[in-house]
Structure 1
Amino acid sequence: MKSTLAKMICGLSLLFALSISEPAAAKTVLKVASFTPKTNTIFSCGVVPMLDELAALDDVTLEGYYGGGAFGNATQQYDQVARGITDMAFGITSYTEGQFPLTELITMPFAVGDLDSGTRILNDTILPEFLGAEWQDVKVIHLWMTSLYQIHTRKELKDPTNLSGLRIRSAGDVHLAAMQALGAQVSFIPSPQIYENLQKGVLDGIHGNWTTTIAFKVAEVTKHHYVTNMGTSIGFTVMNKKTYEALPADAKAIVDKHSGTQASIKTSRCFLTSDGKAIELAKNLGNVIHELTPEQRQKMADTVVPVIEKRLAELEARGLPARAVYDRIIEERSK
């Protein structure tokens, strides 16, 4: 009896010792940063579904840094992930002018005709063939595309292919140069200041997508919208490479499920919802939406050719295969 009792006590002691000597595995903590609030239409549509799945795992904890503040600087999103300061980030390439020169060739005026084909060309063709060096420091989850840019003005234009004398806000060197080629006096005013400057007449219009008009209430201070489909911007969702490789299997499977071309197209399509709301608002306000004639569109495209050629020549002079990338984009667009 004593022997049996001793064995039981010994067994319980061993079990207790094992329970305190083998603590539960530590959770993986992921620092997620974005230059936008978490409620931003595109972020909540394209990225939050993945984050929600990760947050539901027992072995993962998310720390979110959104919309400025710590780790939210728009110009630092990529570099913070590459250096391991954050684990995942959501950003736009145009905020770091010159860091992604080959990637941004697809944003040039009239390079692509719609979101789906543009995003597919970027992810299926240009990324694997030419962009390895520009994205080598991170795990690319999405390379997404904003909706195409239109021209939104306070007053009706006699000729939308001639912006002579008009003060137009745009963003990015190539887009600013394109507006100049069309005759505009260009200005890069920070987005939060667009409304006030349009309202006061400091600006005559802006060059940007429909989503911009709803985000910054542009439709309230413009009356005419010209469908040019002239240019776009590229956004990204990226993860630190070491973080990705160290993820638990269940977390890595979720990231993989939300990565790649189809996931990028899905994120790009998030703009269609917000664009639709912006167009509806403009119509409800009595604004006029003008479709360009084929002749006007061709004239506009011809006018900005020197801008495109200059950009390609500048990059070629730096030893970058800009012409090959651009020609490949046009080749794929034509299929």
Structure 2
Amino acid sequence: MYMRIARAGLAGAALMGFVHSAGAQDVTLKLHQMLPPQADIPAKVLKPWADKIEAESGGRIKVQHFPAMQLGGKPPALYDQVKDGVVELTWTLSGYAPGRFAKSETFELPFMTAQSAEATSAAAWEFYDKHLRDEYADTHVLAVHVHGPGVLHMRGAAVTKLEDLKGKRLRGPSRIVNDLLGRLGASPVGMPVTAAPEALSKGVIDGTVIPWEVTRPLRITELVDTHTEFSGPRGLYTAFFVFTMNKDAYDNLPADLKKVIDDNSGLELSRQFGRLMDEGDAHGRELAVKRGNEIVTLGPEEVDRWKAASKPVVADWVKAMDAKGYDAQGLIDDAKAMIAKYAGE
């Protein structure tokens, strides 16, 4: 009980401070996220975004950036920290709350994502605008995006065929991806991406599935020996991210400052996140090549075997979503059409 009261008091105090500042038309927004400041997303999207907001508001909006969970809690708590007003801004992974953002999982389904994170992120924003506003109604969403195609990063021998995954302990980012890994024969281990380096170094896991981009700040390439990619127009999986703002903090802004936020939100910001992911993937892969790690790209016939093995993940998801009253196949069809549109297919 004391913990709940203390948390409510902290959120209330944060909001009272914000409202007072907004009344004076001088606002400070606390941005809390999981990655170190030198990682691509904080350094090349979040900081430039904050600088632009400050400049376009004439200095009336200040953004205080707290990277690497400096304000406490674990990454899965970030969305609630914004919802509850403990902080005003966060960038986080919706999959850290299994089942909470059910329709968002459409983009996490196997072999859904295009090879371009920018194209898929643009589709993700259109999908959000059509299908997900109710799912995130307790915050004010600024952008949504995905990362590039997921890659297998393994200690020891490379994964060259489906059977090589049997019994391998693999870190996965979300409920859907962990289900996929299990169906493919691995032993999935759910954990935030920031925990993967230690788990690899201690042998707790045999590998991890992440995009190339995040291998650099977490130095994954130095902890593994091999990497497995997938040929074809679709990647193995992706994860769904949201950059969002406390709803009361946004609603309490004067109209001119709301416009500053609005002018720097939406489709183009979502594309910017995705474009950076694509650039980061290229750089991350280059590091693995320079280090001499083995990189395997599965050919079309082998990829088809993985697609066949992953079909039960989609079938089970459709069944569960239909039972909740959603049109699961409609969501899948819309996502595929939107991705194809932005991928130029």
Alpha-carbon distance change, 192 to 73 in structure 1, aligned in 2, over 3 angstroms: closer
Provide closer, same or farther for how the CA distance between residues 37 and 254 of structure 1 changes in structure 2, counting only shifts above 3 A: farther
The question of whether the paired residues in 1 share the 8 Å contact of 2:113 and 2:339 is answered with: yes
User: Is 1:251 matched with 2:248?
Assistant: no
Who is 1:172 aligned against?
A: 174
Q: Which whole-Å CA distance do the structure 2 matches of 1:231 and 1:27 have between them?
A: 42
Shift of 1:194: 3.0
Cα pair 2:122 2:145 within 8 Å, conserved:
no
CA shift for structure 1 position 151: 0.9
1:30-179 matches, within 5 Å, as: 30-56=29-55, 57-70=58-71, 73-113=74-114, 114-124=116-126, 126-157=127-158, 159-162=160-163, 163-179=165-181
> Computing the radius of gyration over CA atoms, which structure comes out larger, 1 or 2?
1
For residues 193 and 73 of structure 1, the distance between their equivalents in structure 2, rounded to whole angstroms, comes to 11
| SS of corresponding position for 2:43 | helix
Q: Flag structure 1 segments of 5+ consecutive residues without an equivalent.
A: 1-23
Per-residue Cα deviation, 1:44-68 (whole angstroms, up to 9, x for no partner): 2222222113334243333443322
Compared CA separation, residues 60 and 107, structure 1 to 2 (3 A)? same
- In structure 2, what residue type is equivalent to 1:35? M
Alignment of 1:232-311 (within 5 A): 232-311=238-317
Taking the aligned partners of 1:88 and 1:198, their CA distance within structure 2 comes to 31
Letter in 1 for 2:296: H
Corresponding residue SS for 1:47: helix
**TM-score, length-scaled by structure 2:** 0.81
Instruction: Count residues in correspondence.
Output: 311
Give the whole-Å Cα distance in 1 for the aligned partners of 2:90 and 2:192: 22
Residue 41 to residue 307, structure 1, CA distance change in 2 (3 Å): same
Which SS does the other structure have where 1:304 is aligned? helix
Closer, same or farther in 2 for the Cα pair 1:140/1:223, shift >3 Å? same
Does the 8 Å CA contact 2:25/2:254 hold for their aligned counterparts? Answer: no
Partners of 1:119 and 1:265 within 8 A in 2:
yes
Q: Contact conserved, 2:128 with 2:144, CA < 8 A, in 1?
A: no
Cα offset for 1:305? 0.5
Q: Is the 8 A contact 1:35 1:72 kept in 2?
A: no
Q: Which amino acid aligns with 1:237?
A: F
Identity %: 25
Separation in 2 of the partners of 1:33 and 1:204?
Answer: 30
Change (3 A) 1:271 1:167: same
- Change in Cα spacing, 1:83 to 1:201, as seen in structure 2 (3 Å) is closer
| Equivalent position of 1:9 in the other structure | none
Which range is displaced more, 290-299 or 191-200?
A: 191-200
Q: TM-score, normalised by structure 1?
A: 0.83
Give the Å deviation of 1:290. Answer: 1.4
Aligned mates of 1:231, 1:112 — CA distance in 2: 6
CA RMSD of aligned residues (A): 2.4
- In the alignment, what sits opposite 2:15? none
Gaps of 5+ in 2: 1-22
Q: For 2:246, give the aligned amino acid.
A: N
The answer as to whether partners of 2:108 and 2:237 remain within 8 angstroms in 1 is yes
User: Retained in 2: the 8 A contact 1:53–1:254?
Assistant: no
3-state DSSP of counterpart to 1:98? coil
Q: Which amino acid in 1 is paired with 2:305? A: K
CA distance in 2, matches of 1:181, 1:319: 25
Residue 216 (structure 1) aligns with:
218
Q: How far 1:241 moved relative to its partner?
A: 3.0
Distance 2:248 2:202 in 1: 50
Bigger drift between 64-73 and 317-326 goes to 64-73
Query: SS in structure 1 opposite 2:162?
Result: coil
